[in-house]
Amino acid sequence: MTRRASIQEAFQRIRTELEIRGEFPPEVLSAADSAVATAHWRDEPDRVDMEALPFVTIDPVGSRDLDQALYTERQGPGFRVYYAIADVACFVERGGPVEAEAWLRGLTYYSPDRRDPLYPPAISQEAGSLLADQARPAVLFVLDLDSRGELIASTVGRARIRSRAQLAYPEALEHIEGGVLFAAQPYSESLLLLREVGELRLARELERGGVSLPIVDQHVHQQAALRLGYELQYENPNLAEEWNAQISLLAGHAAAARMLAGGVGLLRTAPAPAQDDVARLRTAAAALGVGWPESRSYAEFLHSVPLDHPLLPVVVWQARHLMKGADYVSFDGALPEHREHAALAMVYAHATAPLRRLADRYVLDLLVQLERGDTPPQKDRETLALLPRVMDAAERKTGQLERRIIDVAEAWELRERVDTTLTAVLLDVRTEWAEVQIADPPIRARIPRAQDSPELTLGSMVQVSVLGTSVEEGRVELNFEV
């Protein structure tokens, strides 16, 4: 067994145990090809031609499943944001084999060695994806903002668009910060406005008491060809990604508000953090020496911590304990008692990733119906009621997949470092265990605490020894150096 085969076999074993669906059945692939070949969206009379607007997509490098395209312009003292979302309904017939398969998946699942998409590639990466220089069907949000970035009006309808460019976050940020890279392109000013609108929306988030944690995510990446295998890396948030995310959140907010006004829909909700958890975070901040005046709220505190603060990762890791309990809530008639997403401090719905998330397609279909003044059919209402159970199960599964993939990669990274000592920072300290962040390689791990364990201080640097690893089991054994 080669070194690469060993880790890939471990990844496949995880997918098999979690029942991640891989290859599409032949009948589903055939149905997708047929749907693409016979799609008639170009001839729909209520689909508005918006190809003249210079939309662009902004995504991670190499993405093919492009859900969103953006164009922004000034409108008086404020702004108008055109946010186009891939119109999956054009290619996925209700009641057909492609839809039935999507309900068995729920989400697109990502692994280092492959992706298992929600829809066949003919739809998710080709005909339905908002690829550059191609006419594409979309559900178009038109979002009008005042000079402070507050939403003052919105509409949703079906449109035909043509993206001018597929941009990656680094090059988008380069242009936004310098104004030169795409200066000759018709979307140059739109990109510059993305920063202005994004920062206004972040300011309004702070006013509402919302929190966008600057979380540095842990991912597994393929290494260069000279080294077989995989490595762990941390993906630092790009400011262009953060501003773009604010537009997505804005569209999700507009979607939720429209459904609540219509008395039917599917929300994404989250409870407010428990006061005990807030108190625990305040205690942790004090232990770390990070100032948190009594007069400052939880949201104000997190927004105030500088992004270059040396203990920011520890503060953020502690704050993650407060962000839990997100859920899907469907309603029809009576509005749900709890309808706000507390972390965002506003009502919110998932609506902007239909190529990768099952529920979004149905939310988009509903929004178009409500915009036209139509009453959603009873069968559509019943579908909305079924989605929370399916989506919650899919999100649990993708969380398990990511965690277990990282466990395997951590064991892979440390397999040749047994009996060595590594430097780590303490993220969390409990009676039975402590959580550490190793700097090199970038690994987070829990270490059991024995009676003779050394005294541990949150945020301090410690030495840990590698006792053993198992790539097959995704297991790493660490201990504190006494």
For 363-384, b where at least 16 C-beta lie within 10 A, e where not — what string? Answer: bbbbbbbbbeeeebeeeebebb
- Higher model confidence: residue 233 or residue 414? 414
**What pLDDT, on the 0 to 100 scale, is given for residue 218?**
56
The answer to whether 436 and 376 are in contact (CB under 8 A) is no
Contacts of 407 (CB under 8 A, 6+ apart): 474, 475, 476
Q: Which superfamily is assigned to 415-480 in CATH?
A: Nucleic acid-binding proteins (2.40.50.140)
pLDDT digits (tens, 9 = 90+) for 238-291: 789 989 999 999 999 999 999 999 999 999 999 988 888 888 788 778 877 788
The answer to whether 139 and 367 are in contact (CB under 8 A) is yes
Mean pLDDT, the chain, integer = 90
**Rg of the Cα atoms in the chain:** 24
The answer to whether 352 and 141 are in contact (CB under 8 A) is no
* Nearest C-alpha neighbor of 210 from the set 153, 279, 273: 273
The answer to whether 72 and 250 are in contact (CB under 8 A) is no
For tokens 């991912």, what's the residue?
Answer: 219
**224, pLDDT greater than 60:** no
The answer to whether 351 and 363 are in contact (CB under 8 A) is yes
The answer to whether 349 and 266 are in contact (CB under 8 A) is yes
pLDDT digits (tens, 9 = 90+) for 43-59: 899 999 999 999 999 99
Torsion of Cα atoms, 379 then 384 then 388 then 393, to 10°? 60
- Higher model confidence: residue 5 or residue 147? 147
Question: Per-domain residue ranges for the chain?
Answer: 3-271+325-411, 275-321, 415-480
**What pLDDT, on the 0 to 100 scale, is given for residue 288?**
76
DSSP state of 307: T
**179, pLDDT greater than 70:** yes
Q: Per 3-state DSSP, what percentage of the chain is helix, strand, and coil (rounded to 5)? A: 40, 25, 35
- What would you measure as the largest C-alpha separation in the chain, in angstroms? 75
For 133, the token pair is 């220089």
Separation between Cα atoms, residue 246 and residue 194, nearest integer Å? 9
**228, pLDDT greater than 50:** no
If one counts every other C-beta atom within 10 angstroms of the C-beta of residue 59, the result is 19
The total number of residues shown for the chain amounts to 482
* Nearest C-alpha neighbor of 368 from the set 120, 107, 44: 44
For tokens 């190809």, what's the residue?
Answer: 51
